[in-house]
Structure 1
Amino acid sequence: MNQEKKPGKKRLRKSLMVFGCIIVGIVILALIGNGIKNTMFGQEKDIAANGPYIATLYVEGSIMSGQSDTFGLPVGYQHNWTLNKIDEMIADTNNQGLILFVDSPGGGVYESDELYLKLKEYKDKTGRPVYSAMGSMAASGGYYISAAADKIFANRNTWTGSIGVTIGTLYDISGLLDRYGIKTETITAGRNKAMGSSVEPMTEEQKAIFQSLVDDAYDQFTGIVAEERNLSLPDVKALADGRIYTAKQALDLGLVDDIGTFKDAVDDMRASYDLSGEVIDVVYQDNSFWRSFLGGVQIPDLKNGDVSALMEVIEKDQHFPISYECELLK
């Protein structure tokens, strides 16, 4: 009996070796054919236009840096890529204008402001028009970047506004730790160095410090809206309480210029600036080998239990970059 099983085991090992060699061969061929950078991270191609064109730059999802999946592959909005594409358009004399298609709940204060400033740079250096065409939502940071536009079009079903700032949710789980008999000790120099820790109650001084951070960012946000939309600062602060507005409400408040579709925005730009170029989509796409090879693989969630689930949420939220992001629409 044992002698009859040995050939089967050898065939199995041989089959596994052949399969492994095939996989390695595919990887090597991909690396040779595309180059390591393009294979691992996708290709960054120039904007393909045969002549004068209006660019549509897509800002979809959270406006954050370095967004990637389980395997480290880029997903969603890609911040540095977007900034680079605007630089490319600044230098491209065939480019006639830029339409920002925004479908975003917002994002980081840093990234939102950096994109806003890059759009302002595009306008200042080229003198070309920038429009914002809002999708289903252009809230908080999504509205912040839209403020740079010469004209804002909101779809009739758009939710926008949410002008405000958040630092996220800070948890105090000291009571939970007491319940399970867990003791912690944080070693710091400076009484506020560990402020925001989930294992100690926040002091009034620490609350005031965090509040000062969001207040400064809020003043920056409302100041930009007042300047770009030709509104008084008191009027902006009166409407900037963090609430979401419908397209009609936003139009009545002067936050948008018109209610219409993306096509309406294109037609308006062409008519207003006498442009005849084609419309070119500028959207990030990862066509790399690794995306096609690993994109369909799902990693099972092996965590379970109430405490485990709670700790996972806390761990995620404890990274609290200050943000222009609508919590409801995330």
Structure 2
Amino acid sequence: MNTKRWIASAIATVIVIIAIPIQIVTAVLTAEGSEWLSFDQMYNKEVMKNGSNGEIVVLELDGVIEDTGSNNGFFSVGYHHRQFLEMLEDAMEDPLVDGIVITVNTPGGSVVASNAIYEQVVRSKEEFDTPVYVSMGEMAASGGYYIAAGADYIMAHPATLTGSIGTVMSAGLNFADLAEEWGISETSVSSGEYKQMGSPFQTLSEEEEVLLQEISDDMYEDFTAVVAEGRGFSDEEIDTLAQGQLFTGNQALENGLVDELGDLRDAVSHMELMLDLDATVTHYTSGSTVGSMWNVVAPMASKDPVSTILDESRATRMLYLHQ
């Protein structure tokens, strides 16, 4: 056995040694810990300003837009998709809430997750007659702008980076050359010519690249249609603005991508003016409980490192994300 094979065998042995205790922890936690770690994660309501009439809710969208399947919790920070949708839905369905302001600070993320928020923004306006404003932070790009395009009013800081209208197809990692060099191969049987497209052990063919490009183009057309409808752009205007480029807040205002320059306070004041309110402003924020620990520990312990790496390498995803 040559040196490279000895090294590969040693690495595999180390990974197995690490994986065994993780699997044991998983079994223990699953069998004995699920009962006492079963609390639901809640969110908090904090009053930012007391008013004499009406209420405006402020929601915070901060981080990459992804649905990770749970409200990742006790030790995590950032964006929690399902909880954000829950807070948005609660706010729009509350008859005492007159308007919603979403602060957006994100480079974008998943196409599906971005669309889910966009649909709720539109639903808030059309079904509940509750206006939605977007106040942009440091970045509101790609999926962040997709969501903003559905709002009644968009306010950005002069230095905000926004735009990046377009799609990215992530076809996963590719180990084909490395695997060949180290004598590593995958044994599998598939039912169709393109069933293993995106395998980390195979280089994409020209035909596969064409298929993926067609998928990307389809999602791109959806993105541009949403922006054109939300901002009133012509086909020519959207073609010029939707080349994946970033804009500062100043540039976005000049190009009609946002309505005004300002911060969250300005966005709230504008909404109060439009609704003729002196509103109480309530901030819905993520909360955490002891039960949130289970949302962190269980996913980490449920897979061995090899499976995790392979899963990530095989992930073909469509993204509204500025990279």
How far apart, in 1, do the equivalents of 2:86 and 2:292 lie?
Answer: 22
* Pair 1:289 & 2:287 matched: no
1:322 maps to which of 300, 318, 321: 318
What SS class does the counterpart of residue 142 from structure 1 fall into? Answer: helix
1:293 Cα shift?
Answer: 11
TM-score (norm 1): 0.76
How far apart, in 2, do the equivalents of 1:69 and 1:124 lie?
Answer: 28
Unaligned runs of 5+ in 1: 1-26, 300-307
Residue pair 1:67, 1:77 contacting (<8 A) in 2 also: no
Output the amino acid matched with 1:289: V
Residue pair 1:56, 1:98 contacting (<8 A) in 2 also: yes
Unaligned runs of 5+ in 2: 1-31, 301-305
Residue pair 1:119, 1:148 contacting (<8 A) in 2 also: yes
130 and 183 in structure 1: CA distance in 2 versus 1, 3 angstrom threshold: closer
How far apart, in 1, do the equivalents of 2:89 and 2:175 lie?
Answer: 46
How far apart, in 2, do the equivalents of 1:268 and 1:70 lie?
Answer: 34
Q: What residue number does 1:117 align with?
A: 119
| Pairs within 5 Å for 1:154-303 | 154-168=156-170, 170-286=172-288, 288-290=289-291
71 and 182 in structure 1: CA distance in 2 versus 1, 3 angstrom threshold: farther
42 and 128 in structure 1: CA distance in 2 versus 1, 3 angstrom threshold: closer
1:130 Cα shift?
Answer: 1.1
Output the amino acid matched with 2:198: G
1:127 Cα shift?
Answer: 1.8
CA offsets per residue over residues 118-148 of structure 1, 9 Å max, x none?
1111111222221100011101000010111
Output the amino acid matched with 1:321: R
What SS class does the counterpart of residue 63 from structure 1 fall into? Answer: coil
Residue pair 2:73, 2:293 contacting (<8 A) in 1 also: no
Q: What residue number does 2:108 align with?
A: 106
Q: How high is the sequence identity, in percent, across the aligned residues?
A: 31
1:169 Cα shift?
Answer: 5.0
How far apart, in 2, do the equivalents of 1:92 and 1:68 lie?
Answer: 24
CA offsets per residue over residues 282-328 of structure 1, 9 Å max, x none?
12121x12558999xxx9xxxxxxxx9xx98775353122110111x
- Please say which structure displays the higher CA radius of gyration: 1
Q: What residue number does 1:10 align with?
A: none
Query: Which stretch of the first structure deviates more once superposed, 141-150 or 70-79?
Result: 70-79
How far apart, in 2, do the equivalents of 1:248 and 1:313 lie?
Answer: 42
TM-score (norm 2): 0.78
| Pairs within 5 Å for 1:118-133 | 118-133=120-135
CA offsets per residue over residues 260-291 of structure 1, 9 Å max, x none?
111111111111221221111012121x1255
Residue pair 1:139, 1:160 contacting (<8 A) in 2 also: yes
131 and 70 in structure 1: CA distance in 2 versus 1, 3 angstrom threshold: closer
RMSD over aligned Cα atoms: 3.3
Output the amino acid matched with 2:282: I
Output the amino acid matched with 1:316: E
Residue pair 2:168, 2:216 contacting (<8 A) in 1 also: yes
Query: Which stretch of the first structure deviates more once superposed, 98-107 or 316-325?
Result: 316-325
How far apart, in 2, do the equivalents of 1:186 and 1:86 lie?
Answer: 44
259 and 128 in structure 1: CA distance in 2 versus 1, 3 angstrom threshold: same
How far apart, in 2, do the equivalents of 1:183 and 1:127 lie?
Answer: 57
1:154 Cα shift?
Answer: 0.4
CA offsets per residue over residues 44-98 of structure 1, 9 Å max, x none?
5678899731000111111111266998976532222222222222331210100
Output the amino acid matched with 2:318: I
CA offsets per residue over residues 185-206 of structure 1, 9 Å max, x none?
3311101000011211211111
Residue pair 2:71, 2:292 contacting (<8 A) in 1 also: no
1:177 Cα shift?
Answer: 1.4
1:259 Cα shift?
Answer: 1.0
How far apart, in 2, do the equivalents of 1:186 and 1:237 lie?
Answer: 43
Q: What residue number does 1:139 align with?
A: 141
Output the amino acid matched with 2:317: P
What SS class does the counterpart of residue 269 from structure 1 fall into? Answer: helix
Residue pair 1:171, 1:314 contacting (<8 A) in 2 also: no
How far apart, in 1, do the equivalents of 2:91 and 2:70 lie?
Answer: 26
Q: Which runs of 4+ in 1 moved over 4 A?
A: 44-51, 67-75, 290-295, 311-315
* Pair 1:96 & 2:95 matched: no
Residue pair 2:117, 2:147 contacting (<8 A) in 1 also: yes
